[in-house]
Structure 1
């Protein structure tokens, strides 16, 4: 089961920082990050991949929000 990080409503760079703080403490698994801007979507994806996480999917959900699924291990 994946863990959900809700970064909706946060201004950049907060969604990236929240994501990076969590990936720093997880050795392997799946995380789902919820964001509500295109900039946050792009920045979170790039930051997670830079830390060695795989980008599994990026899905647009209702209202201009995005669900980013990343995994490691």
Structure 2
């Protein structure tokens, strides 16, 4: 089961920091990050790649992004 991080309503760098904290402290292999801006989507995706993670999927649902990230 994936760890869900709800960063909707937050502006950068908060969504990125929340994801980075989760990667460092959680043992989960899969993460779902919910964001509501294009900038947050792009920044979280770049942060994931910098942590040797794969952005497996990005879905736009009701003007919100659902980003699925898998730790390698």
* TM bracket (short chain): over 0.9
- What is the TM-score with the length of structure 2 in the denominator? 0.93
Give the equivalent residue in structure 1 for 2:45.
45
Unmatched runs of 5 consecutive residues or more in structure 1: none
Unmatched runs of 5 consecutive residues or more in structure 2: none
Aligned pairs (5 A) from 1:22-61: 22-61=22-61
RMSD: 1.1
2:25 aligns to what SS in structure 1?
A: coil
Counting matched residue pairs gives 72
1:60 aligns to what SS in structure 2?
A: strand
Q: Within 1, Cα distance between the matches of 2:51 and 2:26? A: 11
Note if contact 2:3-2:28 (Cα within 8 Å) is conserved in structure 1.
no
Give the equivalent residue in structure 2 for 1:17.
17
